[in-house]
Amino acid sequence: MHPALQGALLGVVIGIVLVLFEYSALKRAAKDKAERLHRPEEWGDMERGRVNTVLRFSLLLPIGFALGFWIVWG
């Protein structure tokens, strides 16, 4: 398998893991805050922004990993 393809696949996997981890961490924090304040669970602008930022970063990871693998092992 071509090194660039290996890097891209690794970047996709790492990006998915990062997004899922960030989402679950923010979901858990929002649930804890809702229980503490006795309110329904809701996400603020900061939480939505954090998830969007991680999502955009994870979209760039496959390109970066493919380029890095191609330069090092290609």
Tell me which residue range forms the domain holding 51.
3-68
CB-CB contact of 67 with 6 (8 Å): no
pTM, two decimal places? 0.88
Let me know if residue 73 belongs to a domain.
no
Let me know if residue 39 belongs to a domain.
yes
Let me know if residue 37 belongs to a domain.
yes
CB-CB contact of 69 with 7 (8 Å): yes
Q: Total domain count for the chain?
A: 1
Per-residue pLDDT reduced to its tens digit, 25-71:
999 999 999 999 999 998 889 999 999 999 999 999 999 999 999 99
- Name which of 55, 45, 3, 51 is nearest 26 in CA terms: 51
Cβ burial of 11 (10 Å; 0-12, 13-18, 19+) is: buried
Let me know if residue 35 belongs to a domain.
yes
Let me know if residue 40 belongs to a domain.
yes
Res 57: pLDDT: 97
Let me know if residue 74 belongs to a domain.
no
**CB neighbours (10 Å) of residue 35?**
10
